[in-house]
Amino acid sequence: MLVAGPLFYIKTRPPYHKKLNHFQTGLVIFLHVLVSAQATTCPQNCECSGLGRTVIVKCVNKDLNAIPQPLPLNVKTLFITGNDIPHLKHDAFPQSLDQLTNLNLSRNKIEVIDPFVFAKMPSLKQLDLSNNRIYKFSPKGFSTNNVLHELNLSSTLFNNSFIEEISALVRNETLVNLVRLELSGNGLVYLPEDMFTSLPNLKTLALRNNSIVNLKNGTFKNLRLKSLDMRENSLKELSNATMDDFDQQPGISIQLVNNAWVCDCNIEDLLVWLGRSDAVLDKGELSCAFPDSLRDTRLLEVNISELHCPFYKDMKSVLQTSYVFLGIVLALIGVIFLLVLYLNRKGIKKWIYNIRDACRDHMEGYHYRYEISTDPRLTNLSLNPEV
């Protein structure tokens, strides 16, 4: 399929057109078509539409297992979605696509992204890589002079173990123009330290629907965010260091609803901060998940003087319980011992008498022996005094 590019080109220049005879016009058109043939040929399995020099190419749900070639060189918006392309090799986009601004590679089952895959897209502003299963993403994926503004990595990691791949990529210092980063729905449990420090222009960070438990000091340090979405995570509290970092970013809007806020004494700093800061958009909707006595209580309605430190309290009561238990056990053992003694009193009596008799016999033996040894007439008997 040919795009109307060349005709449009000639129509916009009527004076130039007038000076040519029909043969020359035909030749110009022919040559132009030849030169721009590649720029205007639509790959198989794709649909191309163009108005002037804006070309949109869509290769959607076609079971492609590689990037279709050759792509029109003047493509501006490229959708290759819903295919089966496990590996983006370094030559997936062999020619420079100078005008490409929007690239959508969502839902392609992409697992591996080689170095330099996006290096020949000097105008690329928006890249959607959501809903893949990436476990390898080269930190050299982009050229140093890229102008990428939006990167969508929602629901795209193979599993949360591979966050380090993304961390290495965004720390590479090539994504200095990035304004928006989406990392929602990746089951993340933590954010690597200093992950965002090489993104000086980042304004919007979406981390919704993960399982992030806490935020390390300095995760958001030196950023100038306008919007941070951390809804549907597993945050228990926020530390002073994190809230200080937020205070350094004027105009930031944070969303924190549906986290696992633990309303014990450790959440006091957060409550104080929520009271004085307007940075959290949904602060009126935040509610305690633990302890049971405060479940679903709004954070803003919690009475700080009634917060407990359950860990220490529990330890104390556990210790007390175990002392009581130990005492009871010792008492029981004592009682059983006495009972055994009492039930066996006859046997014990007999046994004591036996011992006493044995002792007496023994002592008497000595006595006899003494007497015998002093009386020469009884010497024979002393041979066996026990009998």
Ligand X SMILES: *[C@@H]1O[C@H](CO)[C@@H](O)[C@H](O)[C@H]1NC(C)=O
**Interface ranges with ligand X (CB under 6 A):** 81-82, 104, 106-107, 126, 128, 130-131, 139-140, 142-144, 150, 152, 154-155, 158-161, 172, 174, 182, 185, 187, 209, 217, 239-241, 269, 303, 305-306
Q: Are 226 and 255 in contact (CB under 8 A)?
A: no
What is the per-residue DSSP string for 125-175? -EEE--S--BSEE-TTSS-TT----EEE-TT-BSSGGGHHHHHHHHTTS--
Rounded distance, CA 165 to CA 185, Å? 16
**Smallest separation (angstroms) from ligand X to the CB of 191:** 14
Extract the tokens encoding 245.
Answer: 């970092």
In terms of DSSP H, where are the helices of 36-91? 37-40
d(CA 235, CA 229): 13
Starting at the edge strand that comes first in sequence, how are the strands of the sheet with 87-88 ordered?
Answer: 87-88, 112-113, 136-137
**Nearest approach, Cβ of residue 343 and ligand X (Å):** 56
Nearest approach in angstroms of CB 98 to ligand X is 18
Name the pairing type of β-strands 54-60 and 47-51: antiparallel
**133 and 109 in contact (C-beta within 8 Å)?**
yes
Q: Please, which residue, 145 or 379, has the CB nearer to ligand X?
A: 145
Q: CA 191, CA 211: separation in Å to the nearest integer?
A: 10
- Rank residues 305 and 384 by Cβ distance to ligand X and give the closer one: 305
Q: How far is the CB of 194 from ligand X (least distance, A)?
A: 13
Give me the least distance between CB of 323 and ligand X, in Å please: 29
Choice between 36 and 104, CB closer to ligand X: 104
Instruction: Confirm if 61 and 85 have CB atoms less than 8 A apart.
Output: no
User: Least distance to ligand X from the beta carbon of 51, Å?
Assistant: 18
Cβ–Cβ under 8 Å, residues 135 and 158: yes
Closer to ligand X by CB, 131 or 287: give it: 131
User: Closest approach of Cβ 119 to ligand X, in Å?
Assistant: 6
Judged on CB neighbours under 10 Å (0-12, 13-18, 19+), 87 is middle
Q: How far is the CB of 298 from ligand X (least distance, A)?
A: 13
CB of 96 to ligand X, least distance (A): 15
To the nearest 10°, report the CA torsion of 296, 298, 301, 307. Answer: 60
DSSP-based three-state secondary structure for 278:
coil
| Nearer Cβ to ligand X (198/382) | 198
Whether the upstream peptide bond of residue 291 has omega within 30° of 0, thus cis, is: yes
